[in-house]
Structure 1
């Protein structure tokens, strides 16, 4: 898939969609990243782009960064903080962070039964049940954001 994707969204205008950041698919930026860090990852974007939708950290947030609206819709399959699917609806200039409950027991069982991934049941039980909190994830991702060491 192309990275990043540029779309014109009604109510938002030119909008960038990416996995990590607009400049790097694997780069990490967090809700509590410094303004200096945000400036780095958004550097080079055309001034007409006022909305950036990104992910990679699986933690939903909505943040204004130097006049740009930055959105992380979260994750459906590997959430941090609480089980279920987190996603965002962009409609007529409004952002709605949404959460949809899922049958976690059924999802864990389906992955354990159908996947060839090593120790699939343990992985699914850990990640689909959101056993790691948002605070755990922020601490774990911090070194990739240029801050200190990871904490278990």
Structure 2
């Protein structure tokens, strides 16, 4: 997304470059404007809970990887929020740090935890209970579609990866 908006934040892998070129040639101006104007951080209040969302982390909103074995979870104790929602890793996670919930809902595609099912989180804002849920989807159909678009088999392998 950052590359589409003109920010070169890193060199792209061959798969990322192919995806970038495809998206650049197919994104509408309206959607590109929405992407350019999208905030790097979103805050909201739900049922008295302060929820903040980042693509990566509060300190590096685009590139930091926060996995379940992240060595510096205590840093999250200073974040002014009850619930912190992260992404970027495609790895589902629920952590409780200093009274704060840290959630990564995972992804629908390109799983990093080797479970090819779509992953999402459900948060009960009244009890602060959260769960990671999984649903099957037709991964093979998606793989066929990306092959038709000219992507090589590496992307299909990423979509299908499992233990």
Asked if Structure 1 and Structure 2 have the same fold, meaning a TM-score greater than 0.5 normalized by the shorter chain, the answer is yes
Unaligned runs of 5+ residues in structure 2 are 1-37
Larger Rg: 2
Say which SS state the counterpart of residue 134 (structure 2) adopts: strand
Alignment correspondent of 1:150: none
Distance 1:130 1:74 in 2: 14
- Superposed displacement of residue 43, structure 1: 6.5
Unaligned runs of 5+ residues in structure 1 are 134-152
Residue 59 (structure 2) aligned to one of 5, 18, 23:
23
- Superposed displacement of residue 95, structure 1: 1.3
Alignment correspondent of 2:40: 3
Alignment correspondent of 1:75: 107
**TM-score when scaled to structure 1?**
0.72
Alignment correspondent of 1:85: 118
Distance 2:98 2:69 in 1: 14
**TM-score when scaled to structure 2?**
0.67
Q: How many residues align?
A: 122
Structure 1: which 4+ aligned runs deviate by more than 4 Å? Answer: none
Question: How big is the alpha-carbon RMSD for the aligned residues of Structure 1 and Structure 2?
Answer: 1.9
